Structure 1
Amino acid sequence: MNVSELPSHKKLSQDIDSLKSILKIYKFFRIFGLKSKRFDKVSEQLENLTKQYNKHKEYAAKF
């Protein structure tokens, strides 16, 4: 894997932060019994981005 193939560390961090804030909003609405398929999708996206972010950190730590 080339460094150029990796999304930028800063971009991943920003994406993760924005997804976390979206999840907080969805969790708030879930308290009131509102369910959303988007919540599950956002949760999945956050999980995938977090994995990418961690891989990026591991790869960057090698250099």
Structure 2
Amino acid sequence: MGIYLPIAEISVNIFVLLAMGAAVGFLSGMFGVGGGFLITPLLIFYNIPPAIAVATGANQV
């Protein structure tokens, strides 16, 4: 099941994004840090454009 991100102009799997968010949320909660520095490299690795990944990470801090 895909979701279209119009600003990035790509389609991604919603379940992968949810799994990444859950993993980053768990790790952030365990270590007591913001999730922005964890989610940004994961999104770039998942082929989200770097500008979108950085903006998403900055939004989570």
TM > 0.5 between the two? no
Length-normalised TM-score, structure 1: 0.40
Q: Flag the structure with more relative contact order, 1 or 2, with Cα contacts below 8 A and sequence separation at least 6.
A: 1
Larger relative strand fraction: 2
Larger relative helix fraction: 1
Q: Which has the larger radius of gyration?
A: 1
